[in-house]
Structure formats: C-alpha cells, structure tokens
Amino acid sequence: MRLVVAGTVGAGKSTFIRTVSEIDVVDTDRRATDETAEIKHKTTVAMDFGRLSFGPNMALHIYGTPGQQRFDFMWDILIRKAHAFILLVAAHRPQEFRYARRILSYMNRRVQIPYIIGITHMDCEGAWSSENIKLALGFVDEKNQPPVIVLNADNRDTVIQSIVALMQYYMQRKSSV
Amino acid sequence: MAITGSLSEFSLPEIFQFLDQGQKTGILTIRDPLNLQTGKPFLRHIWLQNGRVVAAGDRLDNQGLVKLIEQRGWITDAVRPELKRLLQENVPLGINLKSLGILQPDQLKLLFSVQVLRQVCSLFQVETGQFRFDAKVDLPKAEMTGLSLPATETTLMGLRSLKDWKILQNKLPEPASTLFIIVSGQLYLRLDTVETQIWGLANGSVNLKKMAEQLQVPIQKVQQAAFRLIVVGLVEEVPDIDVGVVNDSEDIMVTDGSPSGQVISPSERTEVSNSFLQSLVGFLQNKV
C-alpha cells in the first residue's frame, strides 16, 4: 500500500517518515536555494521514502513530496499509485495555509483518494487552533471534512496514531462506496 | 484565544475570507507602528458580527460614530441628551437614531460608507503591519449604524480599487493554474466585466494564461481578478504541473488536450484488501 505525505514547507514531512520508517529513509535532501532557504537550510528536492513491513509481502510504503512550492513532475509520479495521503500543516505558519489549500485542490482534482489533515507544531508560539486551521483551509461544513489529527512529527506514537486514523478512514470510505 | 500574525504572511483578503467563512464575531485590529506610506503609526479596528463588517474606527472609546454624525451637523442641541442615553443602550446607535427620526436611512448609508467602506477598503493598501483578531469581545453598539456588509464583499471592493498589487504578488494564482467554480446556485455577488468573463471560463479546462490570451487582457489583470474570485469563495485555484515527459499510457484521461484536466485513472492503483488494512491497523496499534 502506498501512502503519500504531502504538506507545506517545514511542516515535518521528512521527519514524519523518518520517525516511523523501519528502514533508513531514502531522502533527497539538498541545500535550499529558493525562498525555502529562508525557512530551512536543507529541503527535499525529489522525494523521501520509508517503509513499514508487517507480514509476508505486506508493507506500507510511505512517500514524502518535495519541499518546494512547485508542482513538478515528481508530484504526478508520487500520487499516481497512491492509496491515501496525509496533508501536514504547520500550525504556526499561516503564510503556508494558502499553499496547503492549493495542494488539496491539486490532489482532489487529480486523484480522489482518502486523506486526513495532520497539524504539526501545535506547541509553537503563534500556533493557530485546529478549528481555525480547518477554516483557513476552506473547510466550512462540519459534515464535509476529513479527519484532523494533531501530531508531533518527532513523536513516534502520534505519527503512528495518525497513520492508524488514516487507515480507519480509508476503510470507512471503502465500505461506503 | 486571539489569532495574531503579520499581514505579509496572512494577507487581509485571506483574513476576511477566514472571518466571513467562519462567520466570526469579534474585533480585528490592524496595527503598523511605522506606516511606510505616511511615516506615522497606523491603527484600525474593524468589528465583525457573524462574518459581516458592522463598524470600523481608530478608537475604542465609543465616540467614533458620534463624531462623524456631529461633523455633519446632524445632531442638534435638543437631541444631545437623548443621544447620550442612546449611547448606553444595547442596540446599534444607528437603528435607534433612525427609529426616533433623528437620522434618515440615506444618512445612515452615508455614515456606513464613510465609517466602514472607505476605511476598510483603504486597509488593502497597507503594506506592512500586524493583525490581531479577538473573538471574545462585546460589540460596541455605539459605533454601529445597524448596516453591515459581508467581509468578502468588502474584500472585493477593496481589491478592485487597489493600485499597487506588489504586496499580494506571491499570493496570486499561477498563470498555469486553472479555476473551478465551487459555489452552486445563483451568484450573490455583482462581478465586474473581467471577473464575469473569468467566472465563465472557470471550468478547469482553460488556464489563466490562455484566459488572458482569449480575453485579450494582460495576464496580471487576469491573475488579480482570479485572486478576487478565489478570496471571496467563488472559485478555487487548481495548480497545473510541469510534466516534462508526457506519458502516453492509455490510463491517463486527458480532456481537450489541456494538461489541467487530467485525472489519474484509478486502475493505476492496486486494490488493497480489508484483511491487509486490518492487519496493518493491528500492527500499528501494537506499536503505540
């Protein structure tokens, strides 16, 4: 099964995968040179890859999208066979909410797969509440929203709980089709 | 808890979209210790009720609207004692003044235009500054005319009169993006000519660059009009991707030969069984 971890710059995509992967994450970290450099020293330029195996021929492959705000060919390759995705949003960076909306628009128009929102950096100064972040992402109707989970990308338990939530949501969506 | 930030991070149009869609009630304060245009400190308060702008001003002593009325000579000495009493009431001042015949509806509209429209629309020109939204406040009835406007309509008016768009440049939709209409039913907003034309092309098959060519309008104007439609919640921007190598696989469905309409076929995805999912969930829950 393929899971894609998408999200805004600095939301913790690479950290998320690194925290949960049983293998050393294959990463494509390079020195950031564009506007991303103002946020972080390094960023993912192609993708991250991690894996969780749990039985014979049973594994969850986790792919992280590139860090910059460009929707290049790598996005298409990553989402082409994805079964579900999690969108990570940093709670203390409202300047990225617009980009998060664009990711959702892009994903929902190209692949109709289940997803959840993972809110990170909730403990940082200036962090917005989950309710306000949902609103800023365009979710106005309570009945028409994906699950939203607060997590710490460095914390294994919360990362695992978010994947569990996504899998349960996936099963729920699958059974309602 | 208050929401705070910098206008350079979360722009005023985005703030208004957030407040309108969330039907928020409270006070939005815009502050710039050193306004680049005037060199003087800048402060504005905007009061909202259920996502609608109800009052605006630069003071918190409940005297802003009264001053505007007095400046126009609409308060006589005979009415002054009554006015003092009305300021304490829990009803918008404008409604009380209208019901007592002290002010006419046209006068209230003029006051609202000066107090709210002019002040709020000019806020879109503010290049730097901080914002703060407090939800847990009582609305100042003494500053309210009784009239209101949805925050997003105010945005539309403000952005239409904006001359210098450089502060919003990095928020504009990309030329390669398409637009999709996200509202159903009748359009409740009055759009200008370019906005109407772009609205008509917001079907996901024509990107902004092509719209500009088709409409013979500069691409910057199309981007600005598209941004207005986005922040008032009428359309959403769907980014296009730069696909370096076109995949000729039959599984890709292409509409009208335009890259923006591509939907990735579900057949590319392997089926995941319920037993797989249940095993995965069980495995993960054991790890916690």
On the question of pLDDT at B247 being above 60, the answer is: no
The per-residue pLDDT for range B101-150, each reduced to its tens digit, is 989 999 999 999 999 988 888 888 887 889 999 998 889 999 999 999 99
Residues of chain A in contact with residue B18, where contact means CB-CB under 8 angstroms, are 132, 135-136
| Angstroms from A81 CA to nearest CA on chain B | 5
Would you call B275 helix, strand, or coil by DSSP?
A: helix
> Which residues of chain B are at the A interface, by a Cβ-Cβ cutoff of 8 Å?
1, 3-5, 8-10, 14, 18, 21-22, 171, 180, 204, 236-245, 262-264, 268-270, 272, 274, 276-281, 283-285, 287-288
Q: Give the span between the Cα atoms of B271 and B267, in whole angstroms.
A: 9
Cβ within 8 Å, pair A109-B279: no
Task: Indicate the pLDDT class of residue B80, thresholds 50, 70 and 90.
Answer: confident
Q: Which helix (H) or strand (E) holds B69?
A: helix B64-71
Q: Do A157 and B288 touch (CB under 8 A)?
A: yes
CB contact under 8 A, B237 and A95: no
pLDDT grade, residue A121 (50/70/90)? very high
Average pLDDT of the residues in B198-225: 95
Measured CA angle at B188 (ends B184, B189), to 5 deg: 120
Q: In terms of C-beta density within 10 A (0-12 exposed, 13-18 middle, 19 or more buried), how is residue B129 classed?
A: buried
Whether residues B281 and A75 touch (CB distance < 8 A) is answered with: no
pTM for this entry = 0.85
- ipTM score above 0.85: no
Answer whether B11's CB lies under 8 Å from B130's CB: no
How many Cβ atoms from other residues are within 10 Å of residue A143's Cβ? 4
Inter-chain contact B268–A95, Cβ cutoff 8 Å? Answer: no
pLDDT at A44: 59
Q: Which of A102, A108, A134, A172 to mutate to test the interface with B (most CBs of B within 10 A)?
A: A102
**pLDDT at residue A92, as a whole number:** 93
Distance CA A90, CA A13 (A): 10
Cβ-count burial B183-208 (b if 16+ within 10 Å, e if not):
eeeeeebebeebbebbbebbebebbb
Chain B residues inside the 8 Å CB shell of A168: 281
Min Cα–Cα distance to chain B from A97, Å: 8
pLDDT of B41 over the 90 cut: no
Which pLDDT score is estimated for B260?
45
Structure tokens that stand for B277 in this block: 């999912």
Does any CB of chain B come closer than 8 Å to the CB of residue A164?
A: yes
According to DSSP, residue A72 is labeled B
Which of B9, B238, B277 comes nearest A167 by C-beta? B277
| Confidence band for A45, pLDDT divided at 50, 70 and 90 | low
Q: Considering only the beta carbons, identify the residue of B263, B268, B277 that sits closest to A81.
A: B268
Which SS3 state, helix, strand or coil, does residue A21 take? coil
Using CB atoms and an 8 Å cut-off, which of residues 33-62 of chain A contact chain B? Answer: 52, 54-55, 58, 60
pLDDT band at A175, cuts 50/70/90?
Answer: confident
Which amino acid is present at B160?
R
Mean pLDDT for B244-250 is: 40
**CATH of the structural domain A2-176, one choice from 3.40.50.300, 3.60.130.10, 2.30.290.10, 3.10.620.30:** 3.40.50.300
Q: Is the pLDDT of residue B210 over 60?
A: yes
